[in-house]
Amino acid sequence: MTEVDLISHIERDYILNLAKKGEREDGRGFDEYRKLLLQPGIIKKAEGSCLANLGETKVLAGIKVDKGTPFPDTPDQAVMTTNAELIPLASPFFESGPPKEDSIELARVVDRGIREAPALDMPSLVIKEGELVRVVFIDLHILDSDGNLFDASNRAAVTALRTTKIPVLDEEGNPTEDLMPLPMLKTPVSCTFAKIGENILVDPSQNEEKVLDARLTVTTEDNGYICAMQKGGDSQFTVDEIMDCVKKSIKIGKEIRKTISDLIKKEGL
Amino acid sequence: MELIKDGIRIDGRKKDELRDIKIEVGVLKRADGSAYVEWGMNKVYAAVYGPRELFPRFLRRSDKAVLQCKYNMASFSVDERKRPGPDRRSVEISKVTGGALEPVVLTENFPESVINVNIEVVQAEAGTRCAGITAASVALADAGIPMKDLVPACAAGKVSGEIILDLCKEEDNFGESDLPIAMIPRTGGISLLQMDGLMTGEELEEALNLAKKGCEIIYEKQKEALRKRYKGDDHD
Amino acid sequence: MIHVKNRDIVVPGELIATGNFHVQLGAEKDGENIYSTVVGIAYIDQEKKYIKIVPLRGKYMPRVGDPVIGVIEELALKKAILDINSAHKGILDIRDVTMNRSAEINKVFSVGDMVYSKVSDISGSVSLYAKPPYGKLHGGRLINISSTKIPRVIGKKGSMISIIKKYTECKVYVGQNGTIWVKGKNEGEDLALKAIEIIDAESHTSGLTERITKFLEEKVI
């Protein structure tokens, strides 16, 4: 017998009936996101960081940049690794211990979007080809789980990366006192959709996640290319539904990219 | 390194001065009770769940609730990235944190259940266990769990031969001794006590009393933070 | 000797009074002193010499006879396990649901059903009773508030709940554990839930009954 994250039939029916009428529990439109609040640079110990609030979902991304050996099959690329901690703080249903499948899927989906865009200028982070490269750790710390960890984590991670400062290295590869921004090429933005009955809703709330039949996360980059996708849940999407989500993702991606850029400019980061 | 000169420490504080402390209550939605503490450069969250059913069953106690405390540091909370997951230090701190809070929580009211206390350090700069206990007691109160008292925690230490309050990172690394304590203000009793370094008996007593004074100041901040959560609503 | 004012907000460890007082709730005696054990509102009756601290938050503490509303989390052959927002789950035995002795509980309930029941026993686990007028809830809407606010939703002698039922024309079942169920026309349900949300937010203020009445009057026109 374990703790179960249930939704009652009454609450489920309410959400389904609302969806049939084109409405949502919190009054949002199907294509409307909850309020996004980004606080970059919140962890001074990390080379980069950002706390993202998406509605009440809170994700803290920390970027640590170290030095290390490259992978043997990619001697001319930096190393990047993404980890997600679904810590017990964030939900009555998260347990401590090694990452389980939800935490691993979350980390890999966020990682895929960042890696494939490609967000980081991986070759320029090589110090000595085949021997020494920068190692970028992206750590996602979930603080409050209230629906759509994928998009909250993505926004926290990319904003943190965009505001990361790393030491300039001298010819020997030793750090100097000067700092430079982490070299980036793209800002990938993910959009997650929930399929409830025949309806597709963006940015599922906690209850909507419990009720959805299927889930789709689409990550796009600055030029409107799709760089990562992930379907979740036990049901199916039609091709039309997928293309509709893709179209919306490209549009929303542009908006979020602008939000992030405006914020960075405004804070002078 | 001159850690203290003419009674002024390297961060500009006097010997008996605390770093800046900010306490916020009810910062997380899912938790039954929560708090956030900024203490100098430390940033610590605490969340409480419970009382609730305890699994596995063999851990249940028929006479009271089990208080499970877990202290954890985020990978990016320290200078050198820390691998995720508990290390030996975190496990020890989890245990002594439980010892600090156990005397005040009225666990007898909830037999056969568990009260989970989760402390998450997102930025660390010496004194995280004291910040964690301070946050945890506020989170327990926020969760409505009955307690005899709140539990403030604070460290004192010896640096360049002088007894000082609330060590910062350099003082912790290069000083002679560190003494974190937690105090139950109602009785003046000490529920967390750890010490490392070298001190004479007199120095220890001086440090203990100084740390207790620090705890009293923190106690007022804890109470103020809890009252503030509900103030601004008229209730007469 | 009293150290706080009536209706003050107090915190754990706060000295409320010294002397011969009877503690009803939320405080403990330590020799001559009475200390609060929760964050709550202090009610002190100087005449009758009693002290009550009503907690502002906290899990539901079951009492025999309380009506509760909970969701079925698990089904065994002859019993169901419900979440009632308490330290322990509620257990509903098939014999406390139907007279049919050979019935199996999973033919009567499924996981996710909401059940209106009564607490029948709290020695050991929390036992529930769900024969009529109690039973499974169909349709309607649910709201979860802190169990500490339920007395306000009911009101003195049911005054508040009667007002809500009257203006919204809804059936309203109030679980002492903080879960409330309403059923009526859609607009009535929305209105009832909104009124309950206001009570939840302003539970420790006075004049609430008048404000809620006014609110409902205005919306119904």
Report chain C's mean pLDDT, rounded to a whole number. Answer: 93
- DSSP code for C97: T
Q: What number is the ipTM of this complex?
A: 0.91
Contacts of A98 in chain B (CB under 8 A): 85
Q: How many CB pairs under 8 A join A and C?
A: 30
Q: What does the pLDDT look like over A105-152, one tens digit per residue? A: 999 999 999 999 999 999 999 999 999 999 999 999 999 999 999 999
The most distant pair of C-alpha atoms in chain C lies apart, rounded to whole Å, by: 62
Q: What does the pLDDT look like over A239-250, one tens digit per residue? A: 999 999 999 999
Closest to A198 measured CA to CA, from A257, A240, A156, A157: A240
Q: Taking residues B12-31, what's their average pLDDT?
A: 97
Q: What does the pLDDT look like over A184-197, one tens digit per residue? A: 999 999 999 999 99
Q: Taking residues A24-33, what's their average pLDDT?
A: 96
Q: Taking residues A71-84, what's their average pLDDT?
A: 95
Position C40 pLDDT exceeds 50: yes
User: Which CA distances in Å does B119 have to A139, B106, C178?
Assistant: 18, 20, 28
Contacts of A12 in chain C (CB under 8 A): 112
Q: Taking residues B64-91, what's their average pLDDT?
A: 95
Pairwise CB contact (< 8 Å): C87 & B145: no
> Is it true that C9-55 and C141-220 share their CATH fold?
no
Q: What does the pLDDT look like over C165-177, one tens digit per residue? A: 999 999 999 999 9
Architecture of domain C9-55: Beta Barrel (2.40)
Candidates C74, C83, C114; nearest CB to A1: C74
CATH of domain C67-137: 2.40.50.140
Q: Taking residues B106-132, what's their average pLDDT?
A: 97
Contacts of A43 in chain B (CB under 8 A): 43, 76-77, 122-123
The most distant pair of C-alpha atoms in chain A lies apart, rounded to whole Å, by: 66
Q: How far is A99 from chain B (nearest CA, A)?
A: 9
How far, in Å, CA of B114 to CA of B52, rounded?
Answer: 5
Set out the domains of chain A in order of their start, with CATH numbers. Answer: 11-267 (3.30.230.70)
Chain C neighbours, 3+ Cβ pairs < 8 A: A, B
Set out the domains of chain B in order of their start, with CATH numbers. Answer: 12-230 (3.30.230.70)
Report chain B's mean pLDDT, rounded to a whole number. Answer: 95
The first and second tokens of residue A160, run together, are 């943190």
What pLDDT does A82 receive? 97
What is the topology classification, in CATH, of domain C141-220? Answer: Ribosomal Protein S8; Chain: A, domain 1 (3.30.1370)
Q: How many CB pairs under 8 A join A and B?
A: 93
Please check whether residue C38 touches B, CB under 8 A: yes
The DSSP bridge pattern shows strands C33-36 and C15-18 to be: antiparallel
Pairwise CB contact (< 8 Å): C114 & A8: yes
Which residues make Cβ contacts (< 8 Å) with residue A265, sequence separation at least 6? none
Q: How far is B186 from chain C (nearest CA, A)?
A: 7
What pLDDT does B236 receive? 35
Candidates B110, B226, B235; nearest CB to C87: B110
Contacts of B234 in chain C (CB under 8 A): 205
Q: What does the pLDDT look like over B163-194, one tens digit per residue? A: 999 999 999 999 999 999 999 999 999 999 99
Produce one character per residue of B137-165: b if its CB has 16 or more CB atoms within 10 Å, e if not. Answer: bbbbbbbbbbbbbbbbbbbbbbbeebbbb
Q: What does the pLDDT look like over C109-167, one tens digit per residue? A: 999 999 999 999 998 789 999 999 999 999 999 999 999 999 999 998 999 999 999 99
Q: Taking residues B6-26, what's their average pLDDT?
A: 96
Q: Where are the domains of chain C?
A: 9-55, 67-137, 141-220
What pLDDT does A1 receive? 36
Quote the percentage of chain B above a pLDDT of 70: 97
Chain B neighbours, 3+ Cβ pairs < 8 A: A, C
Q: Searching chain A, which residue's CA lies closest to the CA of residue B34?
A: A89
Q: Which pTM was predicted?
A: 0.94
With H, G, I as helix, E, B as strand and everything else as coil, classify residue C23.
strand
Q: Searching chain B, which residue's CA lies closest to the CA of residue A83?
A: B84
The first and second tokens of residue A57, run together, are 């979902």
Pairwise CB contact (< 8 Å): B235 & C206: yes
Q: Are B69 and B136 in contact (CB under 8 A)?
A: yes
How far, in Å, CA of C82 to CA of B10, rounded?
Answer: 58
Residue C221 banded pLDDT, cuts 50, 70, 90: low
Pairwise CB contact (< 8 Å): B86 & A96: yes
Q: Are A161 and A117 in contact (CB under 8 A)?
A: no
